[in-house]
Amino acid sequence: MLNVANPFTMVVLIVAIVFGARIWRTHMLTRSRTARSREDDALIGSMQAQVDRLTERVAVLEKLVTDDDRNLSREIDRLRGDRPPL
């Protein structure tokens, strides 16, 4: 059995408890950061997909703006298809 009345034993127990608590705290912080990192990766992926879609839309708008009027008119008619004009 441990002799808790011995000062050396008490110091060793206190040091062991402090180090154990620090190890546990570090473990919990690391687990929390890993979970947040996965969520951040998912958010970054969805934002990148949105940026890609917006980049494609801007390219189409740039093309429409820089074309002459006839090409723009033809493109609009082509996009309308069989729908009657508004």
Give 20's pLDDT tier (boundaries 50, 70, 90): very high
Cα gap 23→59, rounded to integer Å: 53
pLDDT for the residue numbered 69:
67
Give mean pLDDT, residues 41-52: 90
% of residues, the chain, pLDDT over 70:
88
- What is the rounded distance in angstroms from the CA atom of residue 54 to the CA atom of residue 67? 20
Domain boundaries, the chain: 7-80
Closest CA to 67 of 83, 51, 78: 78
Alpha helices in 1-86 (DSSP H): 7-66, 69-80
User: What are the CA-CA distances from residue 18 to residues 11, 14, 22, 35 (Å)?
Assistant: 11, 6, 6, 26
